[in-house]
Structure 1
Amino acid sequence: MLAEGSPKDVEESIHDAEKQLKSLSDSGRDDLNNDPYEVVLEPSEDPLNLSTLRKWLTVLIISAGSLCVTSMSSIAAFTEVAVEDEFDVSHTVSILAISLFVEGLGIGPLFVGPLSEVYGRNPIYRASFGLVFAFSWGVAFAPNIAAYLIFRFLTGLSGAAFLSVAGGTVSDLFPHNKVANPMAVYTLSPFIGPVLGPLIGGFVNQNLYWRWTYRIILVWVFFQCLAIFLFVPETYTPVIIKQKAERLREVTGDLKYFAPLERQGQSIFQAIAQSCYRPFELLIFERMALLLNIWTALLLGILYLTFQAFPIIFGELHGFNMQMTGLTFLGMGLGMIIGVSCQPLWNRHYALVRSRYDGIPPPESRLAMAKVGAFLVPIGLYWLAFTTYRQVHWIVPIIASIPFGTGMFFVYTSVFTYLVTAYRPIAASAMASNSALRCTFAAAFPLFAPAMYRRLGTVGATALLAGLTTIMAPLPFIFSRIGAQLRAKSRFAAR
């Protein structure tokens, strides 16, 4: 799901550093670095020193995993009619296949994040995609609607690791001055995934039985599993050190060897409990985080709403079949790719900002991209709204979705980075709060989309969405001016 790309890069990197520092402090030893039994890595063992080929292969595999999971979230859009007929259920019930999957993606990070900091990235990846593979069988061969929906939820829950842990792997592999390009590759995958899903689903359901949608996914997941097991190494340094300490104790018989992670005072249950309640504490007490989270949640909700709206706009008004309707999502995908391709320009902008602030710019400087996105998103939606008439050529609303896709990418990248920077002490919780709210909106919006478009029409319904994004557009401008004051009064934010 969108989600989860840009924020996790900075979030995991910061959170990992926090955990390592906490491990050192919890040991209660001032001279810990001088302890001869504290295990450290040799340069050849450091993930940063892996070969460039190995690093990029790992990045491409986990990016493909993120692409696969987010594609699965939306691929169900074109199975809905067939599911209704086979299981004799209403359209709203069939839409739950998307809503429950997305809700699983939102809940999963609350658990896999803390687990990855205890057991490492690799075991989480393997368990995650192993479970995705297992539960996908239940989706593909579900005997009734209850089994179908339950397995969709469990599949989303299992696949969440690639939206909450994978960014940390990229940060583990590349130093700060070289992480931009691989992170851009990873960041794009969860944005493109929801657009790719309807494209695949449209072609499959136009020509094959609906269950083939999930059988094809099974093949994809199988090969993804093989790639993860064969080619993805462990990259989380504290866990690598812990594994080395275990080997040393076993080989030497000396139990004094230890890793900082083993001296960590917090149990896994405490970490999970904190991961569950802290994000909601942030939503309740931090108005700045709440408003920015609502903004990104609204955009993701609109994206998932299009899986119901585009079949109405292009299927009913322009007479498109399933596979042609699936192709209409390419406009948003192109917009997102344009957004990613602009990253070098933004990097130059931030370099100038850093030089102006002696290398330590305020978090509010990260909202520059969001200011551009704040204009592009409503422009794209208004353009789309007033070109959905039957007499307007179908290419015009597709072109309108391009600025929407670019603007959405700008807003997400900017807001995610800002939240992680502004709430640096609890970066993981800041992003978990954003994820929870986004997934709630993404799960809910498709459920009321058909009724809204029937009642208001394509023009009225889309213009309503454009109006909501217009109301939210001033946020980056407001917080650029008063963000520092709000952070000074906050008990969570960095000063």
Structure 2
Amino acid sequence: DDESLIVDWESSTDPLNPRNWSTAKRLGAILQVTAIAVVVCSAGAIDAAVMPQAAEDLGVSEVVETLATGVFLVGFGTGGLIAAPFSELFGRNAVYLASLPVFSLWTMGAALAPNIGAQLVFRFLAAFSATAPLTCVGGTISDLYDSLDKTWVFPLFAIPGFGAPALGLVIGSYIGPNTSWRWTEWSMLIATGIVMALVFMCMPETFGPLLLQWK
């Protein structure tokens, strides 16, 4: 007869179980995924603050330039449909670490865009790839906290994440009059690089089945 080997947590207090990690370690993971959300959500709105400058530089009307924000939202919506299952197959960190560099590349493309067509394509692709880490956040929180604790932990992510578009507008309003509109994209690229380095160095894998597989 074939023998089956069942791998599970040693007990309800197994220190390898993410829900049994120290408070500091779990909150550190939450703060890192919150930083991801703040950066990518700020990027979605930051262009709206420099619309007149971008429209003039690219030789289009401000109405056409609003598409730079519109296609970002479309990219958010469509990317989520495809990216959602990946973290259940490959783990949370695989999605974070794969999507952030891709998001950075498309953001760089938007900063260097020579015309409106290129800008819109790169903005869409940036949003499409930025959706991937956002779809994992709920899973990461569930990995770390039970149903009761999630009620107070989730706002720690949601309030900064949902407030990030307003932050993007503030940053863009400051950058626009003082430099080129392209620096809104460069600033998001720099911020993404900082967050990406933090995640690469400090973010622990939280997906239970993958941790058990490693075990």
TM-score of the two chains, using structure 2 as the length reference? 0.92
Matched residue, 1:373:
none
Q: In structure 2, how many angstroms separate the alpha carbons of the residues matched to 1:108 and 1:202?
A: 28
Note if contact 2:32-2:199 (Cα within 8 Å) is conserved in structure 1.
yes
**Corresponding letter in the other structure for 1:137:** M
Quick one: which of 111, 124, 136 aligns to 1:140?
111
- Partner of 1:177, secondary structure, is coil
2:6 maps to what in 1?
A: 38
Alignment correspondent of 1:232: 203
Aligned counterpart for 2:139 among listed residues 161, 168, 182: 168
Are the equivalent residues in 1 in contact too, given 2:80–2:132 (CA < 8 A)?
yes
The answer for the alignment partner of 1:390 in structure 2 is none
Deviation beyond 4 Å, 4+ runs, structure 1: none
1:451 aligned residue: none
Q: Deviations over 1:392-414 (max 9, x none)?
A: xxxxxxxxxxxxxxxxxxxxxxx
Residue 43 of structure 2 corresponds to which residue in structure 1? 72
How far does residue 52 in structure 1 lie from its aligned partner after superposition? 1.2
Check if 1:58 corresponds to 2:26. Answer: no
Match of 1:150 in 2: 121
Question: Partner of 1:78: helix, strand, or coil?
Answer: helix
> Secondary structure in 2 aligned to 1:198?
helix
Find the aligned partners of 1:203 and 1:71 in 2 and give their Cα distance: 14
- Matched positions, count: 210
Q: Describe how 1:301-320 pairs up with structure 2 within 5 A.
A: none
Matches within 5 A, 1:16-415: 37-42=5-10, 43-244=14-215
Q: Give the SS at the match of 2:148.
A: helix
1:155, distance to aligned residue in structure 2 (A) = 0.7
2:74 aligned partner, one-letter code: E
Instruction: Verify the 8 A CA contact 1:103 1:153 in the aligned structure 2.
Output: yes
**Residue deviations 1:330-378, cap 9 Å, x none?**
xxxxxxxxxxxxxxxxxxxxxxxxxxxxxxxxxxxxxxxxxxxxxxxxx
Q: Which residue of 2 aligns with 1:395?
A: none
Query: Does the 8 Å contact 2:95/2:132 carry over to 1?
Result: yes
What percentage of aligned pairs have identical amino acids? Answer: 33
Give me the whole-angstrom Cα distance separating, in 2, the residues matched to 1:163 and 1:240. 21
1:216-267: per-residue Cα shift (whole Å, max 9, x none)? 11110000101111111111112222333xxxxxxxxxxxxxxxxxxxxxxx
Counterpart Cα distance in 2 of 1:215 and 1:185: 27
Instruction: Quote the Cα distance in structure 1 between the aligned partners of 2:47 and 2:214.
Output: 41
- For the pair shown, the structure with the greater C-alpha radius of gyration is 1
What SS does the aligned partner of 1:134 have?
helix
Provide the rounded CA distance (Å) in 1 between the counterparts of 2:121 and 2:9.
44
Which ranges in structure 2 are unaligned for 5 or more consecutive residues? none
Confirm or deny: 8 A CA contact 2:42 2:164 kept in the other structure: yes
**Aligned equivalents of 1:71 and 1:39: distance in 2?**
41
**Corresponding letter in the other structure for 2:36:** G
RCO higher in structure (CA 8 A, sep ≥6): 2
The normalised TM-score by structure 1 is 0.41
Do 1:61 and 1:232's aligned partners in 2 also have CA atoms closer than 8 Å? yes
Q: Provide the rounded CA distance (Å) in 2 between the counterparts of 1:139 and 1:160.
A: 17
Cα deviation 1:417-464 (Å, max 9, x = unaligned): xxxxxxxxxxxxxxxxxxxxxxxxxxxxxxxxxxxxxxxxxxxxxxxx
Cα distance in 2 for residues equivalent to 1:198 and 1:162: 22
